[in-house]
Amino acid sequence: MTAIFIHPLTGFVGKTFVITEFELRKLRHDFTELITRALQPALWLLIFGEVFSRSGMMHTGNLPYLDFIAPGILAQSVLFVAIFYGINVIWERDLGIVQKFLVSPTPRAALVLGKGFSAGIRSLSQTVIVYSLSLLLGVKLNGSPLALLNVLIIVVLAATLFSTFSLIIACIVKTRERFMGVGQVLTMPLFFASNAIYPTDIMPGWLKVISHLNPLTYVVDALRTFMLADSTSTFGLDIDYAVILLTTILLVFIGARLYPRLAT
């Protein structure tokens, strides 16, 4: 029985990828999800973005408004899809799937991170959509492969972060009805208290403070820096990465502690 003596860390990483792999295999059997994800960012960019761009009401420094919000809409789209990820977990709990995974010797953190990671990879579809629309609308994008790679990493991390947050909510509320309520209550404040569609400079002081505690702000800042041809980071990319990574790790840790509650 050599299998029992697998190193905990390689075991954890391996199991995380097993969970991710099978979450992604489900996509193969149902493609519609990837298409419905395209709709919201298209509306925001084509309608909201166009109208506010024409009005000239938003002062976004040297960036045209459409350029300014393109990365913001990508971040928003990632948030809006990821924040409802927990509903799947509640569904799997009402069946007996969560219980069966919890009875297996898989590390709890691998179950949580594996699911989050699969949500991360799914959001790459929104990246493709927002990039296509941006090209169409004449947003000046940064085409360097390194910048693109960084955008992909930030998107995957951001979706992992917010879907894990969603999973934590699911572990606490446990029912679909309550979950939908809490999800609705959370999305708009997270979105509005960020720099996604307006700069934090024009916010009142109290909102500015809140926006600086909001991980979405750092996601948007990093995306804006990497995605656009001439944009500089407000907080510094090292700070952006540090906030996103540390928040994700913290949430996975909390999620791993709470996940077994779903079986009780």
SS (H, E, C) 61-74: CCCCHHHHHHHHHH
Residue 126: CB minimum distance to other proteins, A: 21
Residue 120: CB minimum distance to other proteins, A: 19
Contact flag: residue 260 with other proteins (CB under 8 A): yes
Beta bridge mates, 228? 141
Contact flag: residue 105 with other proteins (CB under 8 A): yes
Contact flag: residue 35 with other proteins (CB under 8 A): no
SS (H, E, C) 113-182: HHHHHHHHHHCHHHHHHHHHHHHHHCCCECCCHHHHHHHHHHHHHHHHHHHHHHHHHHHHHCCHHHHHHH
Residue 55: CB minimum distance to other proteins, A: 45
The nearer residue to other proteins, 102 or 207, going by C-beta atoms, is 102
Contact flag: residue 101 with other proteins (CB under 8 A): yes
SS3 96: coil
Candidates 94, 144, 201, 246; binder of other proteins (CB under 8 A) is: 94
Q: Per CB under 8 A, which region of 95-103, 117-125, 129-137, 187-195 contacts other proteins? A: 95-103
Contact flag: residue 9 with other proteins (CB under 8 A): no
Residues 6+ apart with CB under 8 A from 113: 16, 19, 160, 164, 252
Contact flag: residue 26 with other proteins (CB under 8 A): yes
Contact by Cβ (8 Å): 214, 191: no
Q: Per CB under 8 A, which region of 52-60, 101-109, 204-212, 220-228 contacts other proteins? A: 101-109
Cα dihedral 81, 164, 169, 22 in deg (nearest 10): 80
Distance of CA 12 to the CA centre of its chain: 22
Residue 124: CB minimum distance to other proteins, A: 20
The nearer residue to other proteins, 97 or 135, going by C-beta atoms, is 97
Residues 6+ apart with CB under 8 A from 130: 41, 45, 70, 73, 74, 77
Residue 185: CB minimum distance to other proteins, A: 25
Q: Quote the tokens at residue 163.
A: 């879907």
Residues that bind other proteins (CB under 8 A): 2-4, 6, 11, 14-15, 18, 21-22, 25-26, 29-30, 94-97, 99-106, 260, 263-264
